[in-house]
């Protein structure tokens, strides 16, 4: 794998990790907001239903008081309150008997007067309020409200879900862009360090990361370059030492070689002077070999 492909792969992995974390956080936050708002909407809707029911009960109480009973009570106002809330009205007496339950035709007329649609919808649980006249419970009003989709609560809920989905998509796009930029900035020094380390491992002591990065990456790059400088200095010193040792060994070896050939060819006789010269060169070689062994032991210990 080339350095460019490694850099691209690492950048993609980092970007994917950043985006995953960001999207997960956004989804959790959006879900919490939608759930909390949905619950609050339901509470507000229940409150509106209770208020409408109490208003219908107040209108029924006024009609009861004006007529002196349920027999001649004019419940048009009560029906109008129910129609404006798109609720089904049932009025019962103190004994629980149904006093008034406007027909579909009446409900349609009331709805038309108030500009309310009359499409029949499934109904939920009824809301009930007592009809109180002069401190006495004379009956009850029950309103059953529609639960089908399309009401204000459902419209608000749908708007919230749309907002959450759009916000998540926008957050994902922004997170992707930011993650790519950040990942490239983070992977550039890492890739440079990796490439320099590979070159150094292959024997190129001139390899340097030479990158400026913030924080620990910058410290790591500086430490790597310092290490490479030390290795290059050590390698240079070692090469110089080997050259010096080769030079020091070459002289006594050349002398020994010449003296030995002269003795073999009969040019010189093996007298005391010739043997002493050979002995001196052998001692010199022995000392050099001893120095090399000491140096090797010191390098191993370090």
The answer to which of 56-70, 100-114, 205-219 has the lowest mean pLDDT is 100-114
CA distance linking residue 154 with residue 130, whole number of Å: 29
Domains of the chain: 3-168 (3.30.450.20), 215-301 (1.10.287.130)
Q: What is the mean pLDDT of the chain?
A: 78
Element (H, E) at 136: strand 136-146
| DSSP3 helix / strand / coil % (the chain, rounded to 5) | 70, 10, 20
Q: What is the pLDDT of residue 86?
A: 81
Render pLDDT for 26-71 as a digit per residue (tens, 0 to 9): 888 877 877 777 787 788 888 888 999 999 999 999 999 998 888 8
Q: Give me the pLDDT at residue 153, please.
A: 62
- What are the CB-based long-range contacts (under 8 Å, 24+) for 170-173? 171/22, 171/23, 171/26, 172/19, 172/22, 172/23, 172/26
pLDDT digit string, tens, across residues 265-298: 777 777 777 778 778 878 888 887 887 778 777 7
- Global pTM reads 0.47
Of the CA atoms within 13 Å of residue 73, those in its CB half-sphere come to 25
- pLDDT band for position 7 (cuts 50, 70, 90): low
pLDDT at 10: 66
The residue with tokens 């103190």 is: 94
- CA 108 and chain centroid, separation: 55
Provide, rounded to the nearest whole percent, the portion of the chain with pLDDT above 90: 10
Q: For residue 195, what pLDDT band results from cuts at 50, 70 and 90?
A: confident
């Amino acid at each position: 794998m080339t350095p460019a492909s490694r850099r691209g792969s690492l950048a993609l992995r980092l970007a994917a990790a950043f985006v995953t974390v960001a999207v997960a956080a956004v989804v959790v936050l959006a879900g919490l907001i939608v759930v909390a708002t949905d619950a609050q909407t339901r509470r507000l809707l229940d409150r509106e239903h209770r208020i409408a029911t109490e208003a219908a009960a107040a209108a029924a109480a006024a009609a009861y008081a004006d007529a002196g009973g349920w027999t001649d009570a004019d419940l048009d106002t009560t029906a109008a309150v129910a129609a404006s809330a798109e609720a089904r009205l049932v009025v019962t007496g103190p004994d629980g008997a149904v006093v008034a339950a406007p027909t579909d035709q009446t409900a349609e007329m009331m709805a038309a007067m108030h500009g309310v649609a009359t499409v029949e919808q499934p109904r939920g649980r009824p809301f009930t309020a007592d009809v109180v006249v002069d401190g006495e419970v004379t009956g009850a009003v029950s309103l059953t409200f529609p639960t089908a989709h399309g009401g204000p609560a459902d419209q608000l809920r749908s708007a919230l879900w749309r907002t959450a989905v759009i916000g998540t998509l926008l957050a994902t796009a922004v997170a992707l862009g930011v993650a790519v930029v950040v990942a490239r900035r983070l992977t550039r020094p890492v890739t440079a360090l990796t490439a320099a380390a590979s070159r150094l491992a292959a024997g190129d002591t001139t390899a340097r990361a030479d990158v400026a990065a913030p924080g620990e990456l910058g410290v790591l790059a500086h430490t790597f370059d310092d290490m490479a400088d030390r290795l290059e200095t050590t390698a240079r010193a070692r090469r110089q030492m080997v050259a010096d040792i080769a030079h020091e060994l070459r002289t006594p070896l050349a002398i020994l070689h010449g003296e030995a050939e002269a003795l073999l060819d009969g040019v010189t006789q093996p007298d005391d002077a010739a043997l002493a010269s050979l002995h001196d060169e052998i001692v010199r070689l022995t000392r050099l070999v001893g120095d090399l062994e000491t140096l090797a032991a010191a390098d191993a210990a370090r």
